[in-house]
Each structure stands twice: as C-alpha cells, then as structure tokens.
Structure 1
C-alpha cells in the first residue's frame, strides 16, 4: 500500500468514526425526545379525559337544575290558569335564583318569548362550568395530537439516522475506493439533512 493510500485510509477511517459517533448521539437524542413527547401526549390525553368527565358531571347538574325549574314552572302555569293567586305566590317564592332572573326578564319583556326558559338570562348552574371544561378538554385533546405528531417526527428521524449508520458502516467494507467515498458522502448528506430537519423541531427536556 502506498503512502497516499495509507493516508487516505487513515483519514477515511477517522471520518467514519466521527460520523458514526455523532450519528449515534443524534439517534439517542431523537429517541429521548420521542419518549418525552410521548409522555406529554399521554398527560394531555389524560387531562382531556378528566376534563370531559367533569364536564359531563356539570352538564348533569345543569340538566337536573333545568328539570327542577321546569317542574316548578309547570305548577306555576297551572296555578295561573286556575286563578289561584296564593298558590302562584307560594310557587314563585320557590323559584331558584337562576330561574328567577330569567322569569323577571321574561315578565319585563312582556312575556313575548315562549317561556322563561327561552330567555338568554336563564343559565342553570353547571352550564358555564360545563362549557369551560368542554373547551379545556378540546384544547388538551388537540395538544395531545400535536405532541403525538412531534414524537412521531423524532421517531422518523431515528430511522433516518439509522440509515446514516448503515451507509457509514457499509462504506468501511472492503470494496472499491470510489464506492466507499460515495457511500460515506451519501451518509453525510443524509445526516446533515436530518440535522437540519431536527433543528426545526421543538425540544422537550
């Protein structure tokens, strides 16, 4: 082997070791990030599920309150139809605060709506809470999907860097020098492209 060939072989081997080492680190980093984003996805899904359960409970509370107000209002309508003023007053004293607001607004509006329940002022307890929790559940679910995609992106990069490792290892085989160069340059090009893509990804520590 000539001195030039020996020098090329040493340089080539050093470059290969450097590429293999850097790529191994990058592969480990991508695996770590994929795991972290997978954890964030699980947490977000759990939070979305918890908020959805709480929202259902608040909706049930609102429905129960609405049913109570509807029952009381039905008795009030019967008392009015029967001209039983004492009973009507007795029932009105038992209106819930939420229904009282809507009932007063309905009266002030000349009772043009089909009933107090059609008034925008009628908001049974649990309605607003359910809406807030539903919104939170939707937001956390969307966040979980984003985290899942980020984890998938890092996982795909590990495959790309695995290809770099494969090509670099292949370039160290006893094959034609030109082919070894081509394989190593291709590995470096793919590795640099992977690094460029990775730099656009968010980091989770």
Structure 2
C-alpha cells in the first residue's frame, strides 16, 4: 500500500504547477510585447515618413505662394508708378494683367477707398499655394506628433518585456533547490509582478 503524499510534497507539486503555468504565460506575453514593440516601431517610421513628405509638400506650396506674392508686388508697383504719373491707359493695361487672386484683394482695397495698407493686407488676398501650404504643414505636425506617440508606445511595450523577464527570473529562482519559504517568496513575487504586468498590458493599444 502506497503512502499518501505529505503536505510538503503537495505544496511542492502545487508550486511546480504554478511555476510552469507562470513560465508559459510570461513567455507568450514576452513574445507578444516584442511583437507589439516592433509593430509600433514600424508605425513610427511610417508616420515620420509621412510627416517628412507633408513637410516637403508644404515647402513647395509655400514657395509657390511666395513667388506669386513677388509677381503681384512687381505688377502692383508698376501700377502705382503709372497711376502716380497720371498714365491711366498704362494703369488700366497693367490692371488687366493682375493675377485673379490679387485682383480680388485689389478690388476689395479699392472698395474701401484705396487709401491705407494696400491690397496685400486685405483678408481677401490669398496667393495660390497659401492654403495648401497651411494644410500640409498642419498634416506634417500631426504626423510628427503621431510618430512620437507611436515611438512611446513601442517603448512602453519594450519596458513591459523587461517586467515580464523579471517574472521569468523570479519564477526560475523559485524552482532552485532553496528553502521552501524562499521558494514561496520568489514565486509569490513572480505572480504579483506578473499580475501587475498583465494589468498594465490591458491598458495598452494593440496594432496587428
């Protein structure tokens, strides 16, 4: 007739079962965190690339608007000279060559009496490319902020990997030939840290 297992043996068997479950679970979660860190790193690279592309587009449109302002300024200066000289025919000829965007602002300025500021300070004056430059600049800022956020998410997953690695270490230590109380302490700490890590993991966004 076989002897019933002692309390010490049962306790040891229970610790072994808990340790195996904990090791297996933490190994899977560690791999998952590594995968997520890699995915968010990829998202960060994509967002940085999109921010850079949008910034280039914004620069191009801003250059277009700057060139248009320079052209309008040159034509307007000629109109001012012709008007000052009393050459109405030349002034009218120059007016016909105003760019449509500048023409709107010029008419608004004239409607206000044409005394102060000039057409360039009118709200109606929006050179071609100005709105697009602002739009792409805002998009670049948005994507840059998104890239920084994705980078932080990847870092968070990497730090969590370290936390789960600590659980693996504590669990492995509990399996060594040490005093029973020490084994229980290591295993208990491993379970506690593992639960904390899982709780934190549940708050993280997931990218598949």
Normalised TM-score (structure 2): 0.96
2:178 matched to which residue of 1? Answer: 175
Matches within 5 A, 1:16-165: 16-165=19-168
Query: 1 CA distance for matches of 2:43 and 2:116?
Result: 49
Give the number of equivalent residue pairs.
Answer: 205
Q: Structure 1 stretches of 5 or more lacking a match?
A: none
In the superposition, the TM-score normalised over structure 1's length comes to 0.97
CA RMSD of aligned residues (A): 1.2
Q: Distance in 2 between matches of 1:189 and 1:113?
A: 74
User: 1:51 deviation in Å?
Assistant: 0.2
Any conservation in 2 of the 1:113–1:119 contact (CA below 8 Å)?
no
4+ runs of 1 displaced by more than 4 Å? none
CA distance in 1, matches of 2:29, 2:116: 67
- Per the TM alignment, residue 10 of structure 1 is displaced from its structure 2 partner at its CA by 1.9
- How far off is 1:85 after superposition? 1.1
